[in-house]
Structure 1
Amino acid sequence: MPRRRIRTGAVMLAALASALSGLIFVPAADAAVPATIPLTVTNNSGRSDPVYLYDLGTLLSTGQQGWADSGGNFHAWPGGSVPPVPAPDASIPGPANGQSVTIRIPKFSGRLYFSYGQKLDFFLATGGLVQPAVQNPSDPNHNILFNWSEYTLNDSGLWLNSTQVDMFSAPDSVAITPSGGGVKSTGALKPNGFSNFMNALRGQPGGWANLIQTDGSGNVLRALSAGHGIESGALPASVMDDYVNRVWSKYSSATLTVTPFADQPSTRYFGRVSGNAMNFTDSSGATVTSFQKPDADSIFGCYKLLDAPNDLVRGPISRTLCAGFNRSTLLTSASQPDTNAADFYQDTVTNQYARKVHAQMADGKAYAFAFDDVGNFESLVNDGNPQSASMTLGSLS
């Protein structure tokens, strides 16, 4: 069976959804994972302003949405309304620069937010928690420097990842210490990675510099992801059209072979374009699913015309297509997924945001779009018997 994926935002039933990176959920097993584990947050940002932490998510034992305090105690959100009302203050005092704070995290699927200088504003609607939407210039958190990582802790272990699916902002890396010793870590930037990324984006023609957002004093806060760039109008909606047209032309007379499961090489699907659709057949020749010609929004968001349900056919094919379009590997290889990182982002038309994010990661791994885990290029660590976890706040230099 392939690994099941859940999205943190879907679990939290956020009233204001955003395209979140996929967390991996594994059914509960017999591992003796305690009810909470310690997570140490270390502040290596070099900043003097106060830090605020938040642990928000869904309690897996009950399905309730809520937040956890520093001791790992769960608090359910009260009911929301229309218009949304302010949520209770769930902030935890964070560490000063050069110092660390240890909290306990419960069996959650959720987000670990951190902000500098100001507390974040969260609201409750009738559908649940309204989270910050950085693509909206009127969002009350727009001028706050903040970011988050995501985790799922259950009886099978801990899955912890940093994410750039929504934005590239205040950097953080994540790590797990297994009970047997050693450390698994990911998400750290190269030296000067933050400023190098922003400079590279500024130098990329075609509207990519418009993804950068600053505060009233001109200080860089973040760069929107490519998907949010389309949504906000920062990127032209036609930014991927040339590549899509070339893909459609190629597979009008050639076959695209998709082998979506690395551990099931005999499970293959075959795509051919007819008119505005790419139709996929299985080994028997039966048509299993079809995709309309995608636009940039569908590609960068891995949704809409590239929707990926949690099934065993359309979803896996869509994830593979999404990765191929974002990494621009569909023209250079008719067998997908292409898992050779040297092939990624080589076309002049590509997800330049994702390309530049990966270029600044110390281990090359990131969640720069929703299905960046195709081929295991995501910034994720996991362990079935975690002793502790950590999150390190990095420099904005």
Structure 2
Amino acid sequence: MTVGPTAPAGASEAEETTEAAVPATIPLTFTNNSGRSEQIYVYNIGTRLSTGQQGWADANGTFHPWPAGGNPPTPAPDASIAGPARGQSKTIRIPKFSGRIYFSYGQKLIFKLTTGGLVQPAVQNPSDPNRNILFNWSEYTLNDSGLWINSTQVDMFSAPYAVGVKRPDGTTKSTGRLKPGGYNGFFNALRGQPGGWADLIQTRSDGTVLRALAPGHGIASGALPASVMNDYVNRVWSKYSTSTLTVTPFADQPNVKYYGRVSGNTMNFTNSSGAVVTSFQKPDSDSIFGCYKLLDAPNDQVRGPISRTLCAGYNRSTLLSNPNQPDASSAGFYKDVVTNHFARKIHAQMVDGKAYAFAFDDVGAHESLVHDGNPQQAYITLDPFS
């Protein structure tokens, strides 16, 4: 997310389990299999869990708090770590942190500090100083209950990479890897998708393809029509004005169900006793892609879980085909002509089919996240572009 580093969605308190003590830092090995010759720069930024301070960690895992910022923003200290050369690996240490590990190709990223904290790259803004830099990031949380690390496309699809974690038995879990040819395959597929989707792609003046913006950012920047999901929403609204949408938001609580019916411009959800527990106004495309605004998901036990489920159903276009949400299988995802084609095309290019292509892509465990309660080592592998 561009507003600041967030913990991977899998790192909720309900899912954390107490395991063997996690050391203050663990090794993370960066491997550069990108095939590119540019210098790699690595950044580990986020929030120190023991104090709540925002800052950065150096290659040894030592935490450095950000100094006070200004208005206008002032340059942040150089937090870059020289990454591995092409075909090489480099191991750094990561502390107990909730944040992001950025990596850039050929140029250092530009970070600034305001009185409210760090300004992170927001390349949907044409004037962002990082707009013409090729970069990407992984999100992670390391705490006393283990490591959660993901590959994310919530804001953009860019430089390819995979993440992994080594378990105590020596085996490694990994995710985020594209199929052979998947990087170019994604961009070619997006270029061939009518309706403004190709305009999500950003290139540099030298012809380098930098990224594809997530559709919510595309709407904000004018690249994608704000009405792109309207037809699907209208059909959902029509269907559930005469039938019921059943949401079972907790996989481990199958008896907790909520029932949605449309009345006018409102979808009301009732519990098993018939009492209205929350209501949603008819969402626009931006609310759907961002899983916010009219689909806000507070960290509670009722509205948030229902909203997460609705958001996943809209992005995957399953609300019409299945009145019982969420779907257990991905077989029916993205089948409607009106859908989140950005997410559809990313998932299609992943080796394991998993991605974080929108905020609640973890509904049903379809996200590109790995976790271990006693991590021995973490991995980020920069993958080939072709």
TM-score category of the 2 structures, normalised to the smaller one: over 0.9
Rounded Cα–Cα distance in structure 2 between residues aligned with 1:238 and 1:75: 44
Q: What percent of counterpart residues are identical?
A: 74
| Aligned partner of residue 350 in structure 1, secondary structure | coil
Structure 2 residue 329 is matched with structure 1 residue 340: yes
Rounded Cα–Cα distance in structure 2 between residues aligned with 1:247 and 1:289: 18
Rounded Cα–Cα distance in structure 2 between residues aligned with 1:154 and 1:310: 20
User: How many residues were matched structurally?
Assistant: 384
Q: Give 1:9 deviation, angstroms.
A: 4.9
Rounded Cα–Cα distance in structure 2 between residues aligned with 1:70 and 1:9: 25
> 1:309-348 counterparts in 2 under 5 A?
309-348=298-337
User: Does structure 2 conserve the Cα–Cα contact (< 8 Å) formed by 1:298 and 1:305?
Assistant: yes
Q: 2:348 aligns with which of 338, 359, 381?
A: 359
> 1:220-235 counterparts in 2 under 5 A?
220-235=209-224
Rounded Cα–Cα distance in structure 1 between residues aligned with 2:134 and 2:2: 21
Deviations 1:362-394 (A, max 9, x none): 100000000000000000000000000110001
Residues 275 and 334 from structure 1, CA distance in 2 versus in 1: closer, same or farther, beyond 3 angstroms? same
Deviations 1:38-60 (A, max 9, x none): 00000000000100000001000
Matching residue of 2:234 = 245
Matching residue of 1:127 = 116
The 4+ residue runs of structure 1 with deviation greater than 6 A are: none
Q: 1:259 aligns with which of 244, 248, 254?
A: 248
Residues 385 and 30 from structure 1, CA distance in 2 versus in 1: closer, same or farther, beyond 3 angstroms? closer
| Aligned partner of residue 246 in structure 1, secondary structure | helix
Matching residue of 1:185 = 174
Rounded Cα–Cα distance in structure 2 between residues aligned with 1:131 and 1:9: 7
Rounded Cα–Cα distance in structure 2 between residues aligned with 1:323 and 1:289: 18
Matching residue of 1:16 = none
Q: Which segments of 5 or more consecutive residues in structure 2 lack a partner in the other structure?
A: none
Deviations 1:319-363 (A, max 9, x none): 000000000000001000012111000000000000000000010
Q: Which segments of 5 or more consecutive residues in structure 1 lack a partner in the other structure?
A: 1-6, 13-19
Q: Give 1:10 deviation, angstroms.
A: 5.2
TM-score of the superposed pair, with normalisation by structure 2: 0.97
Give the counterpart letter for 2:113 in structure 1. L
TM-score of the superposed pair, with normalisation by structure 1: 0.95
Matching residue of 1:22 = 9
Residues 215 and 21 from structure 1, CA distance in 2 versus in 1: closer, same or farther, beyond 3 angstroms? farther
Deviations 1:73-106 (A, max 9, x none): 0000001111111100000000000000000000
CA RMSD of aligned residues (A): 1.3
Matching residue of 1:158 = 147
Q: 1:201 aligns with which of 186, 190, 203?
A: 190
Q: Give 1:264 deviation, angstroms.
A: 0.3
User: Does structure 2 conserve the Cα–Cα contact (< 8 Å) formed by 1:8 and 1:109?
Assistant: no
User: Does structure 1 conserve the Cα–Cα contact (< 8 Å) formed by 2:19 and 2:146?
Assistant: no
Matching residue of 1:394 = 383
Q: Give 1:21 deviation, angstroms.
A: 6.2
User: Does structure 2 conserve the Cα–Cα contact (< 8 Å) formed by 1:37 and 1:389?
Assistant: yes
Deviations 1:213-263 (A, max 9, x none): 000112100000111111111100000000000000000000000000011
| Aligned partner of residue 44 in structure 2, secondary structure | strand
User: Does structure 1 conserve the Cα–Cα contact (< 8 Å) formed by 2:164 and 2:172?
Assistant: yes
Rounded Cα–Cα distance in structure 1 between residues aligned with 2:52 and 2:212: 33
